[in-house]
């Protein structure tokens, strides 16, 4: 089964954010049992070549990779999908109009994504136009909701055809609502509103969690797509525990 199918079926999926633009990290994570990874090209120093190499490594290792792109520009979307990413996650989706434009730019067709038969997904020229179009007619697109406007317009956004899933950006929502605690009431109310709208419109929903402490609560809201921690946090926390243990003697 493909990742997009599993997301649509609302299977319980776990991934993590990747902040290190290095292929070895991708190889290691492919051995971890994760369902997918999110390459964080929004907040981490992924250059175009590093991103391409990491996507290629993920494909070779059989690890589905979503790229959180820094913007929804046509050239950014084209570059990531041409490199062969499993899908894209797009920050700061605030309106249905924005979501519809995102879908258009991600799909082939008039006014949409430019076609090239020489890309990695097109087997570097060894796939036919018809086969490549069929295999890539519905890209995986995750709309990140992390602004007050996005929360207020969530019912319209959730109904946009072609948006695979919604993703709650709780930290950005925390800042947007003038809070410093992601568990503050205005933030959690906004999260619940997104989850409720996702249920009504049968749209899968995901979120980031620093750890698994609140996992059950989120599962009960209908959330099924989880990005838990990052490889940076796992390295820090793992070795911190080891260091504290050794230094305690």
Q: How many CB atoms lie within 10 A of CB 194?
A: 29
Please give the tally of structural domains in the chain: 1
Which residues partner with 36 through β-bridges?
15
Mean pLDDT, the chain, integer: 97
Q: What domain range is 172 assigned to?
A: 3-247
pLDDT per position as a tens digit, 112-137: 999 999 999 999 999 999 999 998 88
Please tell me the number of Cα atoms within 13 Å of 1 on its side-chain side.
Answer: 12
Report, as an integer, the average pLDDT of 225-246: 97
C-alpha closest to that of 87 among 28, 23, 6? 6
**Is residue 199 scored above 90 in pLDDT?**
yes
- 43 is annotated as an active-site residue: yes
Distance CA 10, CA 25 (A): 27
pLDDT-based confidence at residue 1 (cuts at 50, 70, 90): low
* β pairing state of 225-230 and 165-168: unpaired
C-alpha closest to that of 98 among 43, 133, 150, 134? 150
pLDDT per position as a tens digit, 79-108: 999 999 999 999 999 999 999 999 999 999
C-alpha closest to that of 102 among 145, 50, 60, 148? 145
- Helix (H) or strand (E) holding 174, with range, is helix 170-176
Report, as an integer, the average pLDDT of 153-158: 98
Q: CATH number, domain at 240? A: 3.20.20.60
Please list, residue by residue across 131-144, b when 16 or more beta carbons sit within 10 angstroms of its beta carbon and e when fewer do.
Answer: ebeeebeebbbbbb
């Amino acid at each position: 089964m493909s990742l997009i199918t599993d997301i649509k079926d609302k299977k319980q999926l776990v991934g993590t954010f990747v902040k290190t633009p290095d292929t070895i990290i991708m190889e290691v994570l492919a051995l971890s049992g994760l369902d997918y990874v999110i390459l964080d090209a929004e907040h981490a120093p992924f250059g175009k070549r590093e991103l391409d190499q990491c996507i290629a490594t993920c494909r070779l290792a059989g690890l589905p990779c979503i790229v959180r792109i820094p913007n929804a520009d046509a050239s950014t979307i084209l570059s990531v999908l041409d490199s062969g990413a499993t899908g894209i996650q797009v920050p700061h989706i605030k309106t249905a109009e924005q979501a519809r434009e995102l879908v258009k730019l991600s799909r082939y067709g008039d006014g949409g994504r430019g076609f090239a038969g020489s890309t990695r997904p097109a087997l570097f020229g060894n796939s036919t136009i018809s086969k490549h179009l069929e295999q890539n007619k519905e890209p995986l697109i995750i709309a990140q909701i992390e602004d007050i406007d996005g929360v207020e317009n969530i019912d319209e956004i959730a109904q946009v055809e072609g948006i695979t899933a919604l993703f709650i950006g709780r930290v950005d929502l925390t800042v947007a609502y003038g809070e410093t605690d992601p568990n503050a009431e205005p933030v959690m109310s906004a999260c619940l509103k997104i989850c409720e709208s996702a249920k009504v419109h049968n749209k899968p929903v995901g979120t980031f969690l620093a750890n698994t402490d609140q996992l059950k609560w989120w599962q009960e809201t209908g959330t099924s797509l989880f990005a838990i921690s990052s490889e940076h946090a796992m390295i820090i926390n793992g070795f911190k525990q080891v260091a504290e243990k050794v230094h305690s003697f």
